[in-house]
Amino acid sequence: MTVTITDSRYPLDGRLPDMLRSARPLRGLFNGLPSPAVVEMCAYAGFDFIILDNEHGSADLGMTEHMLRAARATGIVPIVRCFEHDLPRVLDMGASAVQVPMVESVEQARRLADMIHYPPLGRRGSAFSTRAAGYGAFGGAGHTQRSNDGIAFIAMIETPEAVAQAAQIAAVEGVDAVFIGPNDLAHAMGHGSDWTAAPVQQAIEAGLKAISGAGKCPGIIALNPADEDKYDAWGARYFANVSTSIITRALAQAASAGRDATLRY
């Protein structure tokens, strides 16, 4: 029996590199909540991807694996934001991509790309007993090729020094997308959490245009349609909202509506 990379029986969802190379906008969200149910809800809502946030979220690796299972079962592409030391295990659990924070240089981007790809493209350690390889059911050369073809590396740049090197970082072989982290960028530029400050927006514009000019997919947080329209004009195609912000806003609206109803009656 031949199992392709898009076959739902195969643990690894390998669609993302092609999605990032396409011209269409991709919409997803960061999720730091340790909940497979939230992953399922995001899939049923119609998002293209979900970023399991292991930088700021509270999920351990076991819960992360359960959320990856939920993503595969419901058809949403799972990306894991994680630190460098977690890359081997996150990849072996079956992440479709890793989004690594605070990439500061071409040299760092090359090192990370090597960790994400098997030889001859990189230096990732090989094991076929993992979930990504179907616990041995889909191991061997086929798993190696499917992983190299189907796993994406998204570099996050979050300082003015990194944004100044956006084109060079994007041009690194093995980097599929570059995501500008606006909140950290604003802090690093001395504007606190105000990423709407004019100098921060100018840096974001320059970074997005540089990434697009290097032929890679530019990403950014877009919390509303106006954000998406603005950043789309600057070249962004990979837009991320935040699950907790959406949930909190909906809960506040529901609570307010309940109070208003009480007052009316």
Catalytic residues: 56
User: Is 52 within 8 Å of 81 (Cβ atoms)?
Assistant: yes
Task: Provide the pairing of β-strand 97-100 with 26-31.
Answer: unpaired
User: Is 85 within 8 Å of 56 (Cβ atoms)?
Assistant: no
Q: Which residue has the tokens 């699950």?
A: 243
Q: How far is 108 from 83, CA to CA, in rounded Å? A: 13
Q: How far is 188 from 206, CA to CA, in rounded Å? A: 16
User: Exposed (0-12), middle (13-18) or buried (19+): which is 114, by Cβ within 10 Å?
Assistant: middle
Q: What residue type is 92 in one-letter code?
A: D
User: Exposed (0-12), middle (13-18) or buried (19+): which is 176, by Cβ within 10 Å?
Assistant: buried
User: Is 175 within 8 Å of 155 (Cβ atoms)?
Assistant: yes
